[in-house]
Amino acid sequence: MEMRLKTTRILVVDDDPATLLLLKRTLERHGAQCITAASGEEALAIMRTTPMDLVLTDIHMPGMGGLTFLKHLKEEIPVDVVVMTGDIKGFRYDTIIHMGAVDFLVKPLEMNEVTLRLQRVIRERRLMRELEIAHTTIKHSYLDTVRRLVVAAEHKDEGTGDHIVRMGDYCVLLASMMDLSDDFIELLRYASPMHDIGKIGIPDAILTKPGRLTDKEFNVIKTHTTIGAKILANSSSEVIRLGQDIAISHHERWNGKGYPKGLKGDTIPLAGRIVCAADVFDTLTSPRPYKSVYPPHVVQEFFEKQREEHFDPDIATLILDNFDHFLALANLNHSEPYPRNDNFFHLSERDIAEMR
């Protein structure tokens, strides 16, 4: 039992000095670090400056009572709270728990019961922390595994993994400007780099061909969407499922002339529309084996021209209205500064075909 409470910091709140002294001596004898407060106001002031592992508070106290104190804690400071009262008829256990307490003790207190109850609360809290750590470790492990697979696919096309970093940043910037939920934005950050994972199944000779693709070669390129969707299919992970949606839809066009399904307008998943615009922006502002970097005015003209053709018009408008922000990200995440002039710019045959 000593090990259960050892180094645990407990705040005991009660207006009865004898109860405070008894609890303090008992808890410290079992290894806890115990601080006492005689009122809710005093206890709240302590909590705002001193982190605690557990709070044990009476309900009936002059001034701020225990339940008001509990309400403040729930709103301001996450901590486990055990309440105690001698008025067992005045309160229901489920009501106290609903207000945010983790347990309920009835006065007069029996010290063995107090220590056993607090031991249970501390043990459960530590188990929850261990589960959170394990969950985070597992999450990072599978995200790292997916990222390595994505880098392997990206290496065939771009030669580095920088594109997937930029894609995450562009998509997060767009989603933030669209006031989407924090949960969706976090999923999008990890899922968007999976958009081209299907390129792992495309021959290098086609991916890196400097000249214009033949119709047959372009049809092969198109299959990276369905290959990617198959790779990511049937996952229980939200991130992987969103990645599958993105892989299959990020080459669909607002006007319905994209691939592989020819989806049109808002029948295209939102994540796919966001990734589509971010992917084209990064492609235009990055060198590839088959193309040079497009200067800013060409990128702007392309997005203006394709605002209601290739792209969701609202998303294209966000990029155009915040163009400098996106260029700043391009500068931040490229090894070479993004060029501001077009003195050495020229369109390759493949550029011309893809600009149609």
Active site residue 199: yes
In the prediction, which pLDDT does 3 show? 44
pLDDT of residue 283: 87
Residue 206's pLDDT is 86
- Tokens 């259960």 belong to 4
Q: How much is the pLDDT for 308?
A: 92
Catalytic-role residue among 71, 107, 199, 291: 199
Task: Give the mean pLDDT per block of 10 residues along the chain (356 residues).
Answer: 68 93 92 92 93 91 87 88 76 70 85 88 82 72 68 59 82 95 92 90 83 88 94 88 96 96 97 96 81 85 94 97 91 63 56 53
Q: How far apart are CA 150 and CA 64, in angstroms?
A: 56
What number of helices (H) and strands (E) belong to the chain?
16, 5
Confidence at residue 208, expressed as pLDDT on a 0 to 100 scale: 78
Provide the b/e sequence for 244-264 (b: ≥16 CB within 10 Å): bbbbbbbbbbbeeebbeeebe
Q: What is the pTM of this model?
A: 0.62
CA distances from 209 to 197, 291, 332, 353 (A): 19, 10, 28, 13
pLDDT of the residue at 153: 64
